[in-house]
Structure 1
Amino acid sequence: METEQIPAAASVPRQQSRRPKDIPVPTRLLDRAGALWALLMERPVSLYAASMLRIGYGLLYLAFLLREFPNRDTIWGPDSPWTPELAKELFSQTGWSSVLTLSGNHAYFEICYTSAVLVSALFALGWRTRAMSVLFAVVVASFHARAILMTDGGDNLVLLMSVYLVFTACGRRWSLDSRRARLRSPGGGSPRRANIRRWTVRKASGPLHPFAAARETVTVVLHNCAMLVIAGQLCVLYGSAGLYKVQGGTWGNGTALHYVLNLDLFRPWPALSQLADGHAMLIAVIGYLTVLVQVAFPFALFSRLKYPVLVMLLGMHAGIAVLMGLPLFSGAMIIADATFLPDRFYRSLGARGRQALHALRTTGRASGAAVPREDPALHT
């Protein structure tokens, strides 16, 4: 994660400091604590990464609901083998709750399902993101609790992320809200430039109104804390998974993936699984790399090894999605890994998209063909 950069014109000049070895250790510790406090309190970090999480999980859950549309009544409906009465009995023991069990009426269930699809779509688009994030968390928790005996690790991760995203400012980039803010800001421009201008004006003109200043501080602190919790959650997830594998004998002798590829429950394409299982040495190497990458993940984040590790994790999750037939789990993990990509990566990605669209428009004008107009939201 990284903080949003402020132009040199908006920054305060610093005096040349002494060399680090000449500074006493207590002073250096206080400086580090002050820098950490400023990082937490002054500006929101990783706004593009938060927006990527919003888009990714919104679209992922939308695809999940649409895929299970023919089976919705069997999984979550009043006629499910796991009846609402059984679910309520389990809720009394576990403390879970679900809006789907408030009524056994079929019309009520259809309204809930349609509303869940709509909320997922609006959350991904970033329309009234603050309210939609709360509703999205309610939707995910309700569907998760209603069929909790059918969930897996991917469902658990989506549930956790939906709760964490409630506290983030995930609608400030690549959203309908950011587009509306850009159009309303003086002189137009992107929300990032508008935020920089407001930050500069605030530094030059003095403190804000107490209520506005408190609201802004709370928003920034909640967002930064939530992003740190998301990063910590992923470190714990990968680290514990790697350490758990280290304790297993099959991972130690390199045969774990061989047994996984021969489980009928996780063989959507048996011929493809057999083809992969035919390369014993390659399977063993991939198994060892999986353990190594997962154990090293929390430590690699503080070095340049972060990017090769993320690439290897992307390949690992893609393989799980194809070979084991777990697209929801793999998608949830791939989207979560996007947390650790810096904002400059997403800005460059947006710039490349605008260049490609501009080239398409230029080619269309040259050929006389009709091309779509550029969406101003791409500049956010």
Structure 2
Amino acid sequence: MDWSRSPSATRPNLSAVLDRLSIAIQRRVAIDPRALAAFRIAIGTLLILDLALRARNLGTFYTDAGVLPLRALFSDYSPVYSLHAISGAAWVQALLFAVAGAFALALLLGYRTRLATIVSWLLLLSLHARNPMVLNSGDTLLRMLLFWGMFLPLGREWSIDARRLETTRGGEDGTVDETREPVTDESGPSAGDSDDESGMSVPGIVSVPTMAILLQVQLMYLTNAVHKTRSDKWMGGDAVVHIFQADHLTILLGDVLADQHALLELFTYAWIAVILLSPLLLLLTGVWRAAFASVVIGMHLGMATTLQIGLFPLISVGALLLFYPPVVWETATALATRIGIAAPLRRGLDRLQRTAPRVPLPDAPAVPAATDLPATTRTAIETTASRSRVLFSTVIPWLLLVLVVLSNAEAVDYADVPEVGDEVLETVNADQSWRMFAPNPTSTTRWLVAPADLEDGSQVDAFGGGEVDWDRPPSADELYDTARERKYVSNMRYADNENHRSYFANYLCDRWNRSHETGLENVTIYGLTDNAGPYDDEPDIAKYKKIEYDCSGPFVQNG
């Protein structure tokens, strides 16, 4: 028997293996255009919702009358690159919120989609830079999803842009309307359904950006899984039991489940299993991928009904829509047609396309007609345009994806990001760690008491507005009007943010004195914590003095 193989016989076999491997990878990083559309609609909606929720604390967190006036911002966070830092006036912030909302609506509707995505990302960066003290992991995820979305054809389906393209190609009367604006399909190197030589199809859009955004979601779960596996509480099964004892975090169903320790232990193991198995989001395809993505979505919806952690669960759900394969969208489309909502939706898009205002983009510099140019010049122009497209759709996403992977590896001590890489990540605000409730989950109820002396000699709680009460509140989450306020207070108390204690005390003094005839003379802020464990019968309340502040004195920055 001849055990040797000729090079000519080996090369075809190796080529076939590599082709199959390539197709297998492409199938796992492909995104259906309808998934991109659903993702776009979800992100646009979440941006509007985020702005609406933040607007409740617009004066508190984004103006000079709030907890972080511009002089404090520039002192503590310089340099600050934020359009929201051009003025501390409330009307300027309200105007910027309105502009951001308009672009978010354009993104939702798929109108000038690429432009809307870029501007929405820039305005979100600006908003986050204005007050870092109120940010959480949901803000990081939303920021990164928008960032990768800039490189994706989000307006290809279910959008005003897509309907305009259809009308441009052929109107309802069968004619071509040359006055309508075409929409460029910027999907990257490979778009649409493609077939390799072996007949295996790759459904959806395949490009470096599609791979990047799917990996971004995957990295969030894997990095968090590493943090959690280093935690005794998580691996011991009682982490969620401890988290649900933090009464300032639990809401709705969470208040009901707080005493169901056996069930919460089961939830602990279930979530650990889900994040450890999260690579299945990329490894699986078809119905199995859809099923697993649905399980993860179900877990996030459970978070939304039990914990006050802002929009993070809903943002995660929006990201997971990208993993749904064509079979899901074909089924959804068939169902929408059957129940009669598909046609009205199409008519609505047509109506929006006709009525949406035309906001022309800046015209490119006029160039001579291609036929009037020398052959060498035409070749140079075509080469430059081609290289620019490759740079935007492939090279830049590749480089940034590598840095994002390194940033996640650095967060769990597996690698170091080079100094130049750190500068790039800082510039686009793409550094990340994903420590959510890990390695040491929150396990104690925390609240504030701020006794303040009035000019008439009486005393009041400057934070709560009523009488000073040192007892544990029946429900600590009710002390905070919003999740942003709770996050700010938590950071002010426990993070390395001593300056913010004086900013907050100054804000309490000003807020009271603006709305009451009898002013405050001084205020003392105490952080209270119930250190009792989930299996203890009696509270164990500790009181920590954070700051004494003279309301009649000048603005003070401690630390």
With normalisation by structure 1, the TM-score equals 0.74
Q: Name 2:430's counterpart in structure 1.
A: none
Matched, 1:284 2:265: yes
* CA distance 1:245–1:312, change in 2 (3 Å): same
Output one character per residue of 1:79-99: Cα deviation in whole Å (capped at 9) or x when no partner.
221122332344435xx5211
Of 190, 201, 222 in structure 2, the residue corresponding to residue 239 of structure 1 is 222
Letter in 1 for 2:314: G
Matched, 1:302 2:286: no
Answer with 28-37 or 104-113: which moved more: 28-37
Q: Name 1:169's counterpart in structure 2.
A: 153
Could you say which structure has the higher helix fraction?
Answer: 1
Q: Name 1:31's counterpart in structure 2.
A: 19
Could you say which structure has the higher strand fraction?
Answer: 2
Answer with 318-327 or 103-112: which moved more: 103-112
Q: Give the drift of 1:295.
A: 0.8
Q: Name 2:384's counterpart in structure 1.
A: none
Q: Give the drift of 1:33.
A: 6.6
Note if contact 1:158-1:332 (Cα within 8 Å) is conserved in structure 2.
Answer: yes
Aligned-residue sequence identity (percent) comes to: 20
Q: Name 1:66's counterpart in structure 2.
A: 52
Q: Give the drift of 1:322.
A: 1.2
| Cα distance in structure 1, aligned partners of 2:345 and 2:119 | 32
- What is the DSSP-based 3-state SS (H/G/I as helix, E as strand, rest coil) of the residue aligned with 2:107? helix
Give the number of aligned pairs: 318
* CA distance 1:358–1:281, change in 2 (3 Å): closer
Output one character per residue of 1:152-172: Cα deviation in whole Å (capped at 9) or x when no partner.
000110011111111111001
Of 84, 87, 91 in structure 2, the residue corresponding to residue 103 of structure 1 is 87
- What is the DSSP-based 3-state SS (H/G/I as helix, E as strand, rest coil) of the residue aligned with 1:375? helix
Matches within 5 A, 1:335-346: 335-346=318-329
Matches within 5 A, 1:101-140: 101-140=85-124
CA RMSD of aligned residues (A): 3.4
Of 320, 325, 331 in structure 1, the residue corresponding to residue 303 of structure 2 is 320
Letter in 2 for 1:278: D
Q: Name 1:52's counterpart in structure 2.
A: 38
| Cα distance in structure 1, aligned partners of 2:22 and 2:263 | 49
Q: Gapped runs of 5+ residues in structure 2?
A: 1-8, 174-183, 193-204, 351-559
* CA distance 1:374–1:257, change in 2 (3 Å): same
Note if contact 1:182-1:188 (Cα within 8 Å) is conserved in structure 2.
Answer: no
| Cα distance in structure 2, aligned partners of 1:299 and 1:216 | 25
- What is the DSSP-based 3-state SS (H/G/I as helix, E as strand, rest coil) of the residue aligned with 1:127? coil
Letter in 2 for 1:82: L
Of 261, 274, 294 in structure 1, the residue corresponding to residue 244 of structure 2 is 261
Q: Give the drift of 1:373.
A: 8.6
Answer with 25-34 or 316-325: which moved more: 25-34
* CA distance 1:338–1:256, change in 2 (3 Å): same
* CA distance 1:334–1:37, change in 2 (3 Å): closer
Q: Name 2:420's counterpart in structure 1.
A: none
Q: Name 1:88's counterpart in structure 2.
A: 74
| Cα distance in structure 2, aligned partners of 1:342 and 1:51 | 13
Answer with 168-177 or 67-76: which moved more: 67-76
- What is the DSSP-based 3-state SS (H/G/I as helix, E as strand, rest coil) of the residue aligned with 1:268? coil
| Cα distance in structure 1, aligned partners of 2:71 and 2:33 | 43
| Cα distance in structure 1, aligned partners of 2:315 and 2:17 | 38
Q: Give the drift of 1:279.
A: 3.0
Q: Name 2:347's counterpart in structure 1.
A: 375
Q: Give the drift of 1:71.
A: 1.9
Larger radius of gyration: 2
* CA distance 1:285–1:358, change in 2 (3 Å): closer
With normalisation by structure 2, the TM-score equals 0.51
* CA distance 1:102–1:343, change in 2 (3 Å): farther
Letter in 2 for 1:235: Q
